[in-house]
Amino acid sequence: MRNFFIFIFLCVFVIVNAQDNTTDTTPVKKTMNGWDFFSAGRYQDSLKVLDDEKKNFPDRINIYVIMAWDYRELKNFTAMESVSLEGLKIQPTDARILKNLAEAYHFQKKYSDAVVAFEKYIKYKFSWNDPYLPFAYYYIGVCYYYLRNYRKADIALATSNHYSPKNYNTIILFAEVKEILGEFKAAFNLFTQANQIQPNTQRALDGIGRTKDK
């Protein structure tokens, strides 16, 4: 009888152990978060998820960063500005927030505000390896160009060109600023360089024609 109970116990143990070791191969479905939706190009879905998350975790700075990216893709620059200003109250030196705010101002043609924000971005983000640095200086140059402060535009575009020497947009605007400042030889050389980067663009050819004999 004793051997019978031992046999029953061993059978039950084997069955239970086999059940515990059964592997469930059903894939676990991941719940998509705001970043997942943004990466998938589903910007409205991203905003909805992040807005709900913001209500529960208002101090999470990444929420404001990604929401601004969503609004940028949707070309809603007013909302991009607004959510960036919210984020700035939480973390005033976050370079991502400052970059988003600067771009939002720029796209709305708020050039004076954009310059201030871009300069703060450079202050807090600056490093020799920052790939956005030439773009920041380019945008500053564009802002000063539209503000008709051509000397400061000249300096900003020269800095952008230093970090990224073969950018057509930078060089063509740099050439036009040099022309406005009366530096015709420098303008001619820059227009020529722009034409070499993108041959036969009318903007470069017209600039060459205007400055070659001055």
DSSP 147-172: TT-HHHHHHHHHHHHHHSTT-HHHHH
The domain boundary, picked from 101, 126, 151, lies at 126
Spatial CA neighbour of 83 closest among 69, 94, 74, 75 = 69
Of 102, 116, 93, 49, the residue nearest 72 (C-alpha): 102
Domain's final residue, options 126, 148, 166 = 126
Instruction: Place 4 in a pLDDT band, splitting at 50, 70 and 90.
Output: very low
For the entire predicted model, the pTM comes to: 0.84
Q: Is residue 91 left, alpha or beta, with left meaning phi > 0 and alpha meaning psi from -120 to 50?
A: beta
- pLDDT digit string, tens, across residues 5-33: 344 444 444 444 444 444 545 555 668 99
Q: How confident is the model at residue 186 (pLDDT cuts 50, 70, 90)?
A: very high
Helical H segments across 21-94, by residue range:
34-39, 43-56, 61-73, 77-90
Residues composing the chain: 214
* Same domain for 122 and 190: no
In a domain, 70, yes or no: yes
Band (pLDDT 50/70/90 cuts) for residue 170 is very high
Contact 147, 112 (CB under 8 A): yes
Residue 165, domain CATH = 1.25.40.10
User: Of the ranges 9-23, 39-53, 62-76, 94-108, which one carries the lowest mean pLDDT score?
Assistant: 9-23
Instruction: Name the domain count of the chain.
Output: 2
Closest CA to 157 of 181, 173, 179: 173
The whole-number pLDDT of residue 188 equals: 98
Percent of the chain residues topping a pLDDT of 70: 86
pLDDT at 27: 56
pLDDT in tens, 100-148: 999 999 999 999 999 999 999 999 987 778 999 999 999 999 999 999 9
Q: Residue 114: what pLDDT?
A: 98
- Residue numbers of the domain that contains 164: 128-214
Same domain, 113 and 162: no
Question: What pLDDT band is residue 43 in, cutting at 50, 70 and 90?
Answer: very high
3-class state of residue 20 by DSSP: helix
136 and 111 belong to one structural domain: no
In the prediction, which pLDDT does 141 show? Answer: 98
Q: Residue 2's pLDDT is what?
A: 43
Using the structure block, give the residue that is written with the tokens 């535009």.
153
The pair of structure tokens assigned to 49 is: 């998820």
Residues 116, 141, single domain; the answer is no
CB atoms within 10 A of CB 43: 20
pLDDT in tens, 145-158: 999 999 999 999 99
Phi, psi of 28 (to 5 degrees): -85, 125
119 with 142, same domain? no
